[in-house]
Amino acid sequence: MMFKVEGHTLRSYLFAFGMACSAAMGFLSAAPAIAQTPQARGLPDFADLVEQVGPAVVGIRTVEKVASSGGSGEMDEEMQEFFRRFFGQPLPGNPRPGPRPNRPQQPQEEERPRGVGSGFILSADGYVMTNAHVIEDASEILVTLTDKREFKAKLIGADKRSDVAVVKIEATSLPVVKVGDISKLRVGEWVMAIGSPFGLENTVTAGIVSAKQRDTGDLVPLIQTDVAINPGNSGGPLINLRGEVVGINSQIYSRSGGYMGISFSIPIDEAIRVSDQLRATGRVSRGLIGVTIGSVSKDVAESIGLGKARGALVSSVVPGSAADKAGVREGDIITKYGDKAIETPSDLSRSVASTKPGAKNTLTVFRNGSTRELSVTVAEGDAEAKPSGKRQPEREESQAKPSAAGKALGLVVSDLTEAQKKELKMRGGVRIEAASDAAARAGLREGDVILAVGNIEVSSVKEFESAVAKADKGKPLSVLFRRGEWAQYALIRPAR
């Protein structure tokens, strides 16, 4: 008996099914192969790296001298009286109080532990790199090797701005670290830290590079990682999978004081540049041009024709400084330093600081709607000079009256007197006597001095009115003004 499936014999059905399968297999064999997903890589094994680099990592303890109460070692009278009352006799070795000789107590100092940190050996003859904040205010620095030998270290030099320090121990044939190429470090790459968190020597933690060139406002842009860093890790090395040091563990982001998943390291190339100077001279020499700078907002950049928000806005120029001699003015926006584009104020600060004092360079500045180049000879300094903080000139009686142009903006302005120009060291400008409506909303106030309106410099009320009249009434009006020692921009938005 033959079974039927929907009008066909089972034999015929199986034959047809077999033919269909054969055709399908032939199609699949002729079709291009589907790309195979590579197998996920296994987690790295850091054991070999620890054996390789660990011996060159050191623990650092610091001691500071503090004034003690002095004392002669005898128990004071109040404590002796306590023992007499409750025990019926003075403490053994302390006689009953009698007349004390009138002798001055000698001031005494005692040494107390100050803190712990980490470091790593740069050279076989004992130069060790760490953080400047690890050894700050220390009267004694003790370096402990992995073989438990301990040495008193000599401070070669410390640079607070970069947070790099170098100390020296008297030893030879020491294991040393291998310095890596920071330009090859990639975001997402595995890295490892070795240090002494909370005094726990040679503790190893690992993670990945979260970001490079992280601008935290420090002198150098930092490497951000998720490697666990805690107090005591400071000064220890950040190591890549090739066993090379790529950074110095320096900071954490924390609201509790402990590790919260974000840590920062000083790039090793910057640290080596600093350490080379410290080893050569004991100090770091940096460039200085003598300006105070700020950022440029998107709205201001668009209103003055700069385009995108970039550059460093010069808020003040130190009289007699390198920038002053080069012709830099308040309100200039520095967009290039030599061949380097300046995107943020930090870019300029770091570029100038890394320039050798005495070297010449070119500043490209945006002023009054156009670009010009200025030649500057970089001076030497440890920090950007700041304005002297002169007081505002005393106000003189003014007969200022609101003009039609100023009234539309909410401004009443007056010409500067010759005495005011001399005291402020200004060529021109107009003084705001009153600000209301749109001007007040823009942040302008009485006593401010307007230097330019819509990329047009103004030195009198007449020039101010002319500049306002030329402005596009439908767009925000940029105003460069000076308040005290600082110049900045404001955008006056017309009422709708």
**234 neighbors 134 (Cβ within 8 angstroms):** yes
Supply the pLDDT for residue 102.
57
Give me the catalytic one of 234, 263, 275, 303: 234
* CA dist., res. 467 & res. 437, Å (int): 19
Residue 192 falls inside a structural domain: yes
Amino acid at position 380, single letter: E
- For residue 329, give Cα distances in angstroms to 24, 29, 241, 366, 482: 80, 75, 49, 10, 12
Residue 362 maps to which CATH number?
A: 2.30.42.10
C-alpha dihedral over 420, 396, 332, 411, to 10 degrees? -160
347 is catalytic: no
**271 neighbors 166 (Cβ within 8 angstroms):** no
Q: Report the number of distinct structural domains present in the chain.
A: 3
Supply the pLDDT for residue 243.
95
Q: Are residues 186 and 274 in the same domain?
A: yes
Q: Are residues 247 and 204 in the same domain?
A: yes
Residue 411 falls inside a structural domain: yes
Q: What is the DSSP-derived secondary structure letter of residue 348?
A: H
Q: Of 345, 380, 415, which closes a domain?
A: 380
Supply the pLDDT for residue 270.
93
Q: Of 235, 260, 281, which closes a domain?
A: 281
* CA dist., res. 162 & res. 132, Å (int): 8
Q: Are residues 429 and 372 in the same domain?
A: no
For the chain, the C-alpha Rg in angstroms (whole number) is 36
Residue 371 falls inside a structural domain: yes
Strand locations in 307-385, DSSP E?
A: 312-317, 333-337, 340-341, 360-367, 370-377, 379-380
8 is catalytic: no
Residue 386 falls inside a structural domain: no
Q: Are residues 312 and 343 in the same domain?
A: yes
Residue 199 maps to which CATH number?
A: 2.40.10.10
Q: Are residues 373 and 452 in the same domain?
A: no
* CA dist., res. 413 & res. 371, Å (int): 29
* CA dist., res. 31 & res. 451, Å (int): 74
List, run by run, the mean pLDDT of 10-residue segments along the chain (496 residues).
Answer: 41 48 47 46 86 95 73 50 47 50 58 84 96 93 94 95 95 95 95 92 94 82 93 94 96 74 93 95 92 93 92 94 95 95 92 92 95 95 48 48 73 90 84 92 93 92 91 88 91 79
Residue 449 falls inside a structural domain: yes
Residue 298 falls inside a structural domain: yes
Residues annotated in a binding site for substrate: 133, 163, 232-234
Supply the pLDDT for residue 484.
86
Those residues with Cβ within 8 angstroms of residue 126's Cβ, 6 or more apart along the chain or in another chain = 151, 168, 169, 170, 171, 172, 174
Residue 127 falls inside a structural domain: no
Supply the pLDDT for residue 213.
86
**340 neighbors 351 (Cβ within 8 angstroms):** yes
Q: Of 239, 262, 281, which closes a domain?
A: 281
Q: Are residues 269 and 307 in the same domain?
A: no
Residues annotated in a binding site: 133, 163, 232-234
**204 neighbors 229 (Cβ within 8 angstroms):** no
Q: Are residues 223 and 316 in the same domain?
A: no
Q: Are residues 466 and 425 in the same domain?
A: yes
133 is catalytic: yes
Q: Are residues 272 and 186 in the same domain?
A: yes
* CA dist., res. 47 & res. 316, Å (int): 54
Collapsing DSSP states into helix, strand and coil, what is residue 382? coil
Shortest CA distance to 122 belongs to which of 185, 163, 77, 164?
A: 164
Would you state the structure tokens that stand for residue 496, as one six-digit string? 């709708």
Four-residue CA torsion sign, 374, 277, 160, 59: positive
Taking 3-state DSSP, the helix, strand and coil percentages for the chain, each rounded to the nearest 5, stand at: 25, 35, 45
Strand locations in 53-96, DSSP E?
A: 57-68
Q: Are residues 185 and 261 in the same domain?
A: yes
* CA dist., res. 408 & res. 38, Å (int): 69
* CA dist., res. 299 & res. 316, Å (int): 21
* CA dist., res. 251 & res. 237, Å (int): 13
Would you state the structure tokens that stand for residue 256, as one six-digit string? 């509790």
Q: Are residues 185 and 245 in the same domain?
A: yes
* CA dist., res. 355 & res. 151, Å (int): 36
* CA dist., res. 427 & res. 391, Å (int): 18
**176 neighbors 123 (Cβ within 8 angstroms):** yes
Residue 207 falls inside a structural domain: yes
Strand locations in 215-259, DSSP E?
A: 222-225, 237-240, 244-252
Shortest CA distance to 197 belongs to which of 207, 189, 206, 205?
A: 205
Shortest CA distance to 207 belongs to which of 194, 192, 197?
A: 192
Give me the catalytic one of 163, 332, 347, 448: 163
* CA dist., res. 89 & res. 86, Å (int): 8
Give me the catalytic one of 133, 299, 324, 436: 133
Strands 244-252 and 178-179: parallel
Domain, as residue range, for 240: 178-281
Q: Are residues 235 and 316 in the same domain?
A: no
